[in-house]
């Protein structure tokens, strides 16, 4: 894993171009501490910060083709590079490195802009065609690796993180109210938007092309696609579930095998849930790789899964290390997470993962496999089951027993939203008439998180006046979604909001790369996603049993109590991480003080003060208060770090 940066457009002298590139790439040293590389041409600059994982001897970047007319820099990995190399060599291409990156320039020579279709990997890349004088920016299919850009003065600037752009264009350090409102609603900003005015991201599964005359075009090359079921005759891809489960096991084995490719040691995160345990089990049973696993344990029983982790470690006989994370650890490290996240957050869950990455790095590991993505692909979240119940309830809105099915959800929460029947009926019963809307499943979640917008100052409330998050999101969806099943619609929206906007960046890429650790996600191999998308809904959720076919595919590989364990999402303590004995951490009192809030101008100091006191007393037990507090605190930290460019005490 690495960091990339660069520009295309107005010509600079070589000295000025080199200085700009050095300034940009230096901000990404944490992503690539093993060395910097540069290519400076006529109106083009590419820079690379290297984290050496494949081809330690000759894999430095930028990488070129034989004639030196095509250059590329890559953040990420191309897992099928060995197969691609053999194919390209048979076609006459000559290689000068053993790296995965070099296949990119030869694929471009062979297939033009369609080269991305051949890549199995997690990547953000820039490719310069010197003969055509065109730049291509491409991002992997599901959005695992980030890539940002900004245009100004006839130029386009790009980088793996926004801080690289701000190093060249400090005037872009202005927060956008609409972007912050998105983060406060969807838990993340939907690409191509960001929270900084004038900065955009390349969306997952897209290629952005800048032609020689400055014209730009954005093309989608891949998306989550589901069968059209309007005629009621959806063809099953397999004759039986057992046949499908067997095929899924073989596909997952191959995905894990590919993602173990590295010239350094590879470890794995182990949460104790089905997904991460499945990845570790596949390594254990079907490869010869040594098993080294890492986990987080919490002092609060509500969040701690160490008992389940120990069960898997014992069964699979892994060499294991547990990081014990306290609430104070989370609170004190939170500003560092925001520095890397570059966006407001509604949860603290990324902090323990960032601390775990430091722990992993200190033990000599640069790569870890994780179970992220299985819930989105195979219907694992309570949100999917909740929507199924709500649609069932909507057929008979007056029913008294149908909403009682909600009691089967959220058993892992101390303050469950379904604990009080009357409150559950009132909360989950809202919006029942919108069962056919693609955003139906997400309405309860977003209505809770969006309550944070009530803390905006009058000027910021005016900026987002009239913004409807439901309609705004639906306007980005493909027209084909109307023909998909309800679960397919729910999965598509989840993949393009929570997964790509929050989970992959804020609990994946940023926390790990803060300590030069690369996370890999076998369940997000695009072949696995496409496999899951073709399956009937009842093979994914049977009754209220989530990930049914995945559990079938893992038969005999895990202890039965782990294989059939009900999904418990990874979480961490939120507002309680910032107050101890009724007193806030010093920096919390500072950035949320009345003077700081007034200076920034984003939030109403009086309303924030009342929420602050509620959290100080320990009375903020609901999701809405917790998310609002963390969202406000993270926005103010971002203001301090990136707008005012001041250190946090």
Residues designated as active site: 2
Paired tokens of 323: 């990081």
Q: Could you tell me which residues are beta bridge partners of residue 122?
A: 77
For residue 247, give both structure tokens: 């095929």
**Rounded to whole angstroms, how far apart are CA atoms 138 and 127?**
8
- Residue 65 CA to residue 187 CA, distance in Å, equals 41
Strands 3-8 and 155-159: antiparallel
User: What distances in angstroms separate CA 77 from CA 96, 264, 613, one per listed residue?
Assistant: 18, 13, 47
- H helix and E strand count, the chain: 27, 19
Handedness of CA 594, 597, 600, 604 (dihedral sign): negative
Pairing label, strands 583-584, 579-580 = antiparallel
Rounded-to-5 percentages of helix, strand, coil across the chain: 45, 15, 40
Q: What is the DSSP letter of 190?
A: P
CA distance 5 to 48: 7
3-class secondary structure, 23: helix
Helix 274-286 vs helix 241-259: crossing angle, to nearest 10: 70
How far is the C-alpha of 538 from the C-alpha of 371, rounded, in Å? 22
| Most distant pair of Cα atoms in the chain: their distance | 74
DSSP letter string over 119-145? Answer: --EEEEEEEEETTTTEEEEEE-TT--S
Which residues are bridge partners to 545 per DSSP? 542
Tokens of residue 359, six digits: 């722990």
| Number of residues that this document lists for the chain | 649
Pair of tokens at residue 240 = 């039986």
Half-sphere exposure of 63 (CA within 13 A, CB side): 25
As a whole number of angstroms, the distance between CA 419 and CA 402 comes to 15
Give which of 235, 227, 322 is closest to 271, Cα–Cα: 322
CA distances from 287 to 80, 259, 358 (A): 17, 12, 27
d(CA 4, CA 157): 11
DSSP bridge pairs for 322: 295
Beta pairing partners, 319: 292
Which residues are within 8 A (CB) of 224 and not within 5 positions of it... i.e. 6 or more apart?
491, 492, 495, 496, 529, 533
């Amino acid at each position: 894993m690495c960091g990339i940066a660069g520009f295309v457009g107005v010509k600079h002298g070589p000295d000025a171009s080199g200085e700009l590139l050095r300034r940009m790439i230096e901000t990404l040293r944490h992503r690539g501490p093993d060395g910097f590389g540069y290519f400076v041409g006529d109106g083009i600059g590419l820079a690379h910060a290297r984290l050496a994982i494949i081809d330690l001897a000759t894999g430095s970047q930028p990488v070129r083709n034989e004639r030196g007319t095509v250059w590329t820099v890559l953040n990420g990995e191309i897992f099928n590079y060995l197969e691609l190399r053999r194919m390209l060599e048979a076609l006459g291409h000559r290689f000068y490195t053993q790296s995965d990156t070099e296949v990119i320039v030869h694929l471009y020579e062979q297939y033009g802009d369609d080269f991305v279709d051949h890549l199995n990997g997690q990547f953000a890349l820039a490719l310069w065609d010197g003969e055509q004088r065109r730049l291509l920016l491409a991002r992997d299919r599901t959005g695992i690796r980030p890539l940002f850009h900004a245009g100004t003065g006839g130029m386009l600037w790009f980088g793996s993180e926004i801080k690289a752009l701000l190093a060249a264009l400090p005037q872009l350090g202005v927060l956008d109210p609409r972007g912050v409102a998105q983060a406060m609603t969807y838990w993340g900003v939907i690409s191509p938007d960001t929270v900084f005015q004038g900065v955009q991201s390349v969306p997952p599964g897209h290629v952005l092309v800048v032609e020689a005359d400055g014209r730009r075009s954005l093309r989608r090359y891949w998306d989550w696609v589901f069968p059209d079921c309007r005629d009621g005759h959806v063809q099953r891809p397999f004759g039986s579930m057992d046949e499908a489960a067997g095929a899924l096991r073989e596909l997952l084995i191959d995905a894990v095998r590919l993602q173990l490719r590295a010239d350094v040691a590879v470890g794995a995160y182990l949460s104790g849930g089905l997904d991460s345990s499945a990845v570790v089990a596949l390594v254990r049973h079907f490869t010869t790789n040594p098993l080294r696993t890492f986990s987080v344990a919490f002092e609060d029983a509500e969040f701690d899964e160490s008992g389940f982790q120990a069960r898997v470690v014992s069964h699979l006989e892994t060499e294991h290390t547990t990081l014990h994370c306290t609430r104070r650890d989370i609170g004190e490290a939170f500003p560092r997470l925001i520095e890397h996240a570059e966006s407001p957050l509604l949860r603290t869950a990324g902090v323990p993962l960032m601390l775990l990455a430091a722990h992993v790095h200190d033990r000599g590991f640069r790569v870890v496999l994780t179970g992220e993505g299985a819930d989105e692909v195979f219907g694992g979240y309570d949100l999917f089951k909740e929507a199924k119940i709500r649609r069932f309830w909507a057929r008979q809105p007056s029913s008294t027993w149908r909403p009682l099915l909600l009691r089967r959800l959220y058993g892992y929460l101390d303050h469950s939203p379904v604990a009080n029947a009357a409150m559950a009926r009132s909360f989950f019963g809202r919006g029942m008439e919108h069962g056919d809307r693609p955003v139906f499943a997400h309405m309860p979640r977003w209505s809770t998180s969006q309550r944070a917008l009530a803390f905006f100052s009058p000027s910021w409330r005016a900026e987002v006046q009239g913004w409807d998050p439901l309609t705004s999101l639906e306007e980005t969806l493909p027209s084909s979604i109307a023909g998909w099943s309800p679960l397919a619609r729910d999965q598509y929206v989840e993949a393009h909001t929570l997964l790509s906007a929050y989970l992959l960046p804020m609990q994946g890429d940023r926390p790990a790369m803060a300590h030069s650790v690369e996370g890999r996600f076998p369940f997000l191999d695009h072949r696995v996603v496409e496999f899951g998308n073709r399956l009937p809904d009842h093979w994914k959720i049977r009754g209220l049993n989530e990930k049914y076919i995945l559990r079938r595919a893992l038969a005999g590989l895990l202890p039965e109590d782990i294989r059939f364990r009900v999904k418990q999402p990874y979480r961490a303590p939120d507002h309680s991480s910032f107050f101890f004995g009724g007193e806030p951490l010093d920096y919390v009192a500072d950035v949320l003080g009345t003077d700081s809030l007034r200076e920034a101008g984003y939030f109403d100091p009086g309303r924030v003060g009342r929420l602050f006191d509620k959290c100080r007393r320990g009375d903020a037990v609901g999701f809405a208060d917790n998310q609002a507090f963390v969202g406000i605190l993270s926005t103010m930290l971002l203001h301090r770090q990136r707008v005012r460019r001041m250190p946090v005490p």
